[in-house]
Amino acid sequence: MSVEKTDAIVLHTYNLQESSKIVVLLTPVRGKVRAVAKGVRRTKSKFGSALEPVTHIEAQIHYKEGRDLQTLSQAETRESFQPIRSDLTRLGLASMMCELMEQFVQEDEESSREFVLLLLSLRTLATIVKNYESLLIAFYMKLLDISGLLPEVNCCVRCKGGLQGNTYLDAGAGGALCARCSAGMGEKVSAGGLKMMQRLHSADWVMLERIRLPKASADEVLGALNGYVLHHTGREVRSGKFLRALSGSA
């Protein structure tokens, strides 16, 4: 057994027995880690509020090779992202980001880029007060890029021609299809929506709040990206209802 201290972000927790919880963590070196936090549900737990989802912590974990569940012995809060917790819209968006990370990141897999992406996304979310759709689309695109699944949106992936008018995002094809090549396959998204995806993928974090999407564009792009992720992970984002509510309120 080894004992390691590491930065971590709490992705998800669920109850175990009367006083314990299983905590799902994102760590830079070991990727996704599932660990038992004993006694965390007691009133005077040593963990305090450090194990609330969407919290950046310093964790001490006891690892045993071949075991599915490790043991979390200490956790100290580094960033609680209080502005996110005080706003239901931002908290829902943060929960979506954590859920997506839990789907994409594997256990015992170096995940420093994913860790930095989530940390920067949460820090940005804690500071902005509008245009959340831009941040969410940027997060999707950057996560797909890191995972080697970034869709081609500059040209039709089949005929290599330009994209105009109604186009489609097809996960099986690996990107955008023109109307002629799509044969009705994929998620419908306009050429303007594809250009916005490209722009948000490369946008600086400080610029995201300044990029406002029309409601129709936000709806189609987020819907297409959600379908793209579903194809590759086989799992629908449980927070999809929040996604629809978010785009509907733009």
Does residue 247 surpass a pLDDT of 70?
Answer: no
pLDDT of 211 reads 93
Distances (CA, A) of 185 to 117, 160, 163, 167: 31, 17, 15, 10
Q: Name the pLDDT band for 216 (thresholds 50, 70, 90).
A: confident
pLDDT classification of 66: cutoffs 50, 70, 90: confident
Q: Kindly report, residue by residue over 74-97, the tens digit of the pLDDT.
A: 999 999 999 999 998 899 999 999
Instruction: Go through the domains of the chain in sequence order and give each one's CATH number.
Output: 2-81 (2.40.50.140), 128-248 (no CATH)
DSSP 149-199: -PPB-SS-TTT-----SEEEEETTTTEEE-HHHHTT-SEEEEHHHHHHHHH
pLDDT band at 28 (very low <50, low <70, confident <90, very high): very high
Residue in 180, 177, 157, 179 with CA at minimum distance from that of residue 169: 177
pLDDT tier, 120 (very low <50, low <70, confident <90, very high otherwise):
very high
Helix (H, G, I), strand (E, B) or coil at 121: helix
**pLDDT value of position 236:** 81
User: What's the average model confidence in pLDDT over 33-48?
Assistant: 78
Contact 95, 242 (CB under 8 A): yes
The structure tokens listed for 27 are: 């760590």
Q: Give the pLDDT confidence of 140-153 residue by residue, as tens digits.
A: 999 999 999 999 99
| Per-residue pLDDT, 248 | 52
